[in-house]
Chains A and B, each alone.
Chain A
Amino acid sequence: MKDLAVRLAALDADAGAALQVIAYFDSLVEARAGLQSIVRGAAVLSGCPARLEDDVRRLRIRVDPAGVSSLSPEPADPAWLRMPILADGTAALWLERPGPPGPIEAMILERATGAARGVLDRTRGRARAPDPASVELVLDGAADPELRRTAARGLGLPADRPVHAIALAGGAATVAAADAPVPAGRAGIGPPGSVLELPASWTAARTALRFTAEGTEEDPGPTVVHFAQLGALALLAELPAEPIPDVRALEHAGSGAPWLLSTLDAVADGVSLRAAATALRVHHSTLQDRIVHAEHLLGWNVREPQGRLRLQLALALRRLHRHRQT
C-alpha cells in the first residue's frame, strides 16, 4: 500500500501528540537505536533541524526535518532551544530555533536527551575492569603461551610495546602497557617486558609492593615502587622474616613520638637536611632537634653517609616486615 503518508511531524499540541512523542522515543530506546536516529526523531517530530554535540567524544550530529543528515559550519546559536544530555555539561541536544519551547518541543527535548543519555552511558568511557580470569592467565608462567597471548590481546595489551604487571594492595593484580599511567594507591610495578614475561614481572611487582608504604605519619614512604628502580635493595626482600635489631629500634623510637618516623623518612629520602625540613614543613632548627632526639633513641648517627644508608635500609626492612609476602 504505497503512498499512505503519515506525517508524524504534524502533531497537535494536545495529550495525544505528547504520548506519541513518548511512544516514539521509547520505541527507539527499546530497539537500541543510535544517536543519529535519535537526533533524526527530534528533528522530524519538531519540524526543525536538531543537533547533538559531545565534546568528549568529539561528536557532531545534525539532521534536518526531512531526515537528511548534514552538518552545518555554523556553531550552535545560544538562543536556540538546548538541553544538556549529561550532568557534566559535555554533551547537549539543540533544536535550532529560539525559545521558549512549546509543550511538544519540551517533551521532544526531554525524551530525546533521555534516549541519547542511554546511548552515551552505554558507549562512553566508563573504563571496563579487566577480566580477572584473563589477568590470572597472563600471569601464570605454567599456562600455554598461545593462550596467554590470546588473553593478553583480549585485555587490550599491546603486542608490540613493553607491558608490565602491577601488584596492588590486598593481593590484587593488574597488567598494563608499560607507558600507561600508574594507578592510584599503593602499587608495586614489575619490570617492563613482553607479554610472555609477565609472570616474572608479576613476581617482581609483588616484591616491589612490599617496599611501598601508606604515606602516612605512621607509615611514611613511597606509595608506588618500581622494581626496576630498587636495584640491590630488592635482595632485602629475600631475607628471612626475623626481627632485625635496627628495625626494632625504629619501632621503639616511633612508638614514643608520632612525628619521629616521618622525620626519619624525610631525612633518609631528602637530598639535604634543608630539603627534608621543607618537606616536613618544619623549621630547620626544629628538624635538628628532632634528629638529635632520634639518634639518641636509635643509637646511631643518621646524618653521616653510613648512618644514612643504615637508616634507609632499616626503613625499607620495616616496610617489608609490615607487608609480609602473601
Chain B
Amino acid sequence: MTTTLPPAGSAAPPVPFDPELGAALTAINEMLPPAFTADQIPLLRSGGPLMVITDEELQRDGKFTVAERTVPGLAGDPDISLLICTPTTVTGTLGCVYHTHGGGMIVGDNRMGVAEMLDWAEEFGLVVVSVEYRLAPETPHPGPVDDCYAGLVWTAEHAEELGFEAGRLIVAGGSAGGGLAAALALMARDRGGPELAGQMLIYPMLDDRNDSASGLQMAGRGIWDRTANDTGWTALLGDARGGPDVSPYAAPARASDLSNLPPAFIDVGSAETFRDEDVAYANRIWLAGGQAELHVWPGCFHGFDSMAPQARLSQEAKSARVRWLHRLLDA
C-alpha cells in the first residue's frame, strides 16, 4: 500500500541486452528514458517519441477500408470511438482482432500498434477493431477497461455487420494493451460473453504490486522500468495501488482463478520489468489446466520489436506470434 518503492540496492545484476538491441537502445533511450514520473506524462503525450499514423498509412494502398464508429460505453459512461479496418481483398470468412493499444495506461491512441494488427489481418483475413479508451490519471480504473469491454461487446454483437464470423474473435494488445486484453478475457468469462477464440498478450502489464525481482534488477535500464511502472499503475489506481482491494480487471495478475480462459499467447523480454509477472501468468494458466504459449526473448527490452523492428530477435518474436495465430485460426 506504500507509494514509495523499496530500495533496489540488493537486487540481482541486470540481464544483459541482446547485442543488436542493446546497440539500438542507446539511440532509443535518448528519446524515451527507462524511468519517468507523473510530471512527465504531458511530455510523453505531446508526441515527441510518438508517430502520427494517417488513414493513408492504414489503408495500405487500398488493401483496407478505414472507418471510425462511435459506440456507447457501459451504462453511464461516455461514448467511445472504434477504429475499424476491413480488408478489401480477402476472400472467405473473416475473423476479427479486437485491439487494445499500449502506453502504460497513460499515453497513446487507438492507432498505436495497429500496423502489426494489419499485418495479421492481411495474412489471416481479419477485421481490425481498435478501441479508443479513456486514459489515466484523468480516468482511473474502471473507466479504461470498461470502455474496452463496451467496445468488445458492441463488436461481437455487430459481427455480421462488420463482416466477420463471431467464433473467430480474438483480443490482442501490447504492454498496457496486453493487460487490458487479459482483463477482457477475464471479464468475458465472468460475464458470460462474448466468446473469444484466443488472447494475444504481448509483453502485458499485469501486476500493480510492481515488486518483482525482474523489475528490481532492471531498474533504471531499458524501457518502462519499475519507476515508470509505478507511475502508470498509480495513475490508474491512486492510493489503492499495491493494496488489498485491487480488481483483477485492473490487474489480471490479481485474479485468483485463471481457469476456463481462451488459449493465451504471452511473450516478454528477459531484460524487462514484466518478465516475472508474465511468466507467472502463463504458469498459472497451465496450473489451472488451461492453454498458453509463452516466449521469453533473450536480452530483449520492453517493446523491443516495435522500436527496433529490424533486429533479428524482433523478427523472430513477430513471426512466433504469427505461427501461433496460424495454429489458432487455420481451420
Contacts and interface: CB of A to CB of B under 8 A. Distances in A.
A98 to B, nearest CB: 23
Interface of A: 1-6, 8, 20, 23-25, 27-28, 31-34, 36-37, 40-41, 43-44, 65-69
A37 B20 contact: yes
Interface string B153-183: 0000000000000000000001101000000
B177 A2 contact: yes
B309 interface: yes
A23 B310 contact: no
Contact of A8 (B16, B102, B177, B308): B308
B288 interface: no
Contact of B27 (A1, A2, A8): A8
Main secondary structure of the interface of B (DSSP, over half): loop
Contact of B101 (A2, A6, A8): A2
Given A1-B224, A2-B174, A2-B303, A67 B310 contact: yes
Contacts of B177: 2
Interface string B45-63: 0000111000000000000
B300 to A, nearest CB: 13
Interface string B25-39: 011100110000000
Contact of A37 (B19, B107, B303): B19
Between A3, A24, A27, A68, the greatest number of chain B beta carbons within 10 A of the residue's beta carbon is seen for: A3
A6 B27 CA distance: 8
Given A2-B103, A4-B49, A24 B315 contact: no
Contacts of A36: 312
Given A20-B27, A37-B20, A4 B309 contact: no
Contacts of B308: 6, 8
Given A1-B223, A5-B51, A24 B26 contact: yes
Contact of A24 (B16, B27, B175, B223): B27
A28 to B, nearest CB: 5
Contacts of B31: 4, 6
Contacts of B224: 1
A40 B20 CA distance: 9
A2 B20 contact: no
Nearest to A67: B310
Kindly state the interface size class of chain B when it binds its partner: 35 or more
A41 B20 contact: yes
B19 A32 contact: yes
Interface string B187-217: 0000000000000001000000000000000
A1 B22 contact: no
B16 A1 contact: no
B71 interface: no
Given A1-B223, A40-B310, 19 more contacts: A1-B108, A2-B113, A2-B202, A2-B303, A3-B50, A3-B112, A4-B28, A4-B50, A5-B306, A5-B307, A5-B309, A8-B308, A20-B26, A23-B23, A33-B23, A37-B312, A40-B20, A66-B310, A68-B315
A33 B19 contact: yes
B17 A31 contact: yes
A241 B115 CA distance: 89
B255 interface: no
B174 A8 contact: no
Contacts of A67: 309-312, 314-315
Given A1-B103, A1-B107, A28 B306 contact: no
B24 interface: yes
5 contacts: A2-B101, A2-B103, A3-B303, A4-B306, A28-B20
A28 B175 contact: no
Contacts of A37: 19-20, 312
Interface string B306-324: 1111111011000000000
Contact of A3 (B23, B113, B312): B113
Contacts of B51: 3-5
A69 B319 CA distance: 14
Interface string B95-111: 00000011110011000
A69 B174 CA distance: 26
A40 B102 CA distance: 28
Contacts of A25: 23
A240 to B, nearest CB: 66
A41 to B, nearest CB: 7
Contacts of B50: 3-4
A6 B308 CA distance: 7
Interface in B1-32: 16-20, 22-24, 26-28, 31-32
Contacts of A20: 26-27
Contacts of A69: 312
A43 B107 CA distance: 32
B302 interface: yes
